[in-house]
Amino acid sequence: MRALVDDDDSFPSTPGKTKIIDRGGSHHHRHRHSLVFPRHLLWTLLFLAFLASYLSLRSFLHTSSRYLSSSFATLSFDNRVRASAEPTRPDGLVVLVTGAAGFVGSHASLALAKRGDGIVGLDNFNSYYDPSLKKARRSLLSSQGIFVIEGDINDAKLLKRLFDLVSFTHVLHLAAQAGVRYAIQNPDSYVHSNVAGLVTLLEACKNANPQPAVVWASSSSVYGLNDEVPFSEVHRTDQPASLYAATKKTGEAITHVYNHIYGLSITGLRFFTVYGPWGRPDMAYFSFTRNILQKKPITVYRGKDHVDLARDFTYIDDIVKGCVAALDTAEKSTGIGGIKMGPAQYRIYNLGNTSPVTVPTLVSILENYLKVKAKKHVIEMPGNGDVPFTHANITLARVELGYKPKTNLEEGLKKFVKWYLSYYGYSSRKGRNW
Ligand SMILES: *[C@@H]1O[C@H](CO)[C@@H](O)[C@H](O)[C@H]1NC(C)=O
């Protein structure tokens, strides 16, 4: 199921690089005086012809790309949705994947499509981090026959249209406003995506006929200030330390309501620091890699009393296996016409790796693979939402989902670095501004 890792070579090493055409003026001036008029006329005509063809090509490309990206009202959109949703194996799942151009969403979509499930992707391509990375992931999905619609989970009309077009058996809901510290700058976006968007999506699921089973991404951050370790699903989660965590905890409560009132089958997955190829540029392992390569200093947070922060880093392929197992074991929703016909399944699982690694250890692994020494700037962690450590108890997921993470941080970061270098190159100029 290493969906993307082995596909590095199918990607250009410097995406978006454009060739600069030599406009080479100087040598054209040499014969000016001997052949002034005809030469001049010839060049003018050539230039005009070139300009005309350039302009018509540009307007053609412009209209066709607009046609492709926003043609929701045309038959071709409907056909693309239906084709993408068609499983290629008997009894294949039909899954709406939200956040399909995101990190986990793109990997999960590819893994499902690879085994013959039908996938329709939805993503709003927002600019929380470089949208060109999301577009590159979409191209990869598109090459596997997966259509990723540019649209928002808050768009109830669009969702209704999709559920009218396709009988989804499952929804894998991974769209979210991620990140802990960004909530200080933009609190509304967390409410918009993780609360309002979730409700709009669940409304569409509850109204759908048949109702899909819903598997969605919660977060290890719901453990907040809980200090019992390892974190278990029975521990308290009513002390969030960030707005992000609070909206994910809210999601667990909201999905419970839709399970209770409308009979939606719900599985919430608490992800623990997912990393790997095609990852999110806002995460520490990613920005450390970029800065180390650019010989820029990195900021390493440390807890009170000089205790190192630690994270239960979980490799993307392990998380994808957990998502797929959750989909495969989900029972059907019980509602018909928006009315509950019987009790429905409600589950919550930790998906972690059970071996927390400190941030300085993470940095030394990266230094080793990148063959560059990091310039570390160690400061005490500001109280902006990060928790000092995470550590998952994954017994429940192991017993009920057969979840068994296989990749340790050394192996996983090796694959990440290999991807990073193939995608951005060593100089990594494209990564500058996030
Ligand atoms: C992990 O959680 C299970 C219940 O899911 C519990 O029985 C077990 O004792 C926990 N393990 C530890 C080390 O806390």
CATH class of the domain whose range is 75-431: alpha beta
Q: Which residues pair with 298 in a beta bridge?
A: 376
Query: Can you tell me the distance from the alpha carbon of 176 to that of 346, in angstroms, rounded to the nearest whole number?
Result: 20
pLDDT for residue 29: 41
Express each pLDDT in 61-100 by its tens digit. 444 443 444 444 455 999 999 999 999 999 999 999 999 9
Closest ligand 1 atom, CA of 228? 14
Q: What average pLDDT does the chain have?
A: 87
pLDDT for residue 382: 83
pLDDT for residue 387: 84
Domain boundaries, the chain: 75-431
Using most ligand atoms within 8 A of CB, pick from 235, 350, 395 the residue to mutate for ligand 1. Answer: 395
Of the two residues 170 and 14, the one the predictor is more confident about is 170
Express each pLDDT in 197-253 by its tens digit. 999 999 999 999 999 999 999 999 999 999 899 999 999 999 999 999 999 999 999
Neighbours of 78 (CB within 10 A): 17
Q: Please determine, for residue 310, whether its predicted confidence score (pLDDT) is greater than 50.
A: yes
Q: Please determine, for residue 432, whether its predicted confidence score (pLDDT) is greater than 50.
A: no
Catalytic residue (choose from 129, 182, 244, 403): 244
**Residue 387 CA: distances (Å) to CA of 176, 300, 360, 380, 413:** 20, 14, 16, 12, 22
Express each pLDDT in 89-135 by its tens digit. 999 999 999 999 999 999 999 999 999 999 999 999 999 999 999 99
Cα of 231 from ligand 1 centre, angstroms: 9
Contact 350, 319 (CB under 8 A): no
Express each pLDDT in 320-329 by its tens digit. 999 999 999 9
Decide whether any atom of ligand 1 lies within 6 Å of the 393 Cβ.
yes
Confirm whether 244 is a catalytic residue.
yes
pLDDT for residue 32: 41
Task: Walk across the sheet containing 213-219 and list its strands.
Answer: 147-150, 118-123, 94-98, 170-173, 213-219, 266-271, 346-351
pLDDT for residue 25: 38
Q: What is the pTM of this model?
A: 0.83
DSSP state of 252: H
pLDDT for residue 185: 95
Using most ligand atoms within 8 A of CB, pick from 233, 312, 393 the residue to mutate for ligand 1. Answer: 393
Among residues of the chain, what percentage have pLDDT more than 70?
81
DSSP string, 288-349: HHHHHHTT-EEEEEE-GGGPBPEE--EEHHHHHHHHHHHHHHPPPP--BTTB--S---EEEE
Express each pLDDT in 22-68 by its tens digit. 333 334 444 444 444 556 666 666 666 665 665 555 544 444 443 44
DSSP state of 264: -
Parallel, antiparallel or unpaired: strands 213-219 and 266-271? parallel
Among residues of the chain, what percentage have pLDDT more than 90?
76
Express each pLDDT in 400-413 by its tens digit. 999 999 999 999 99
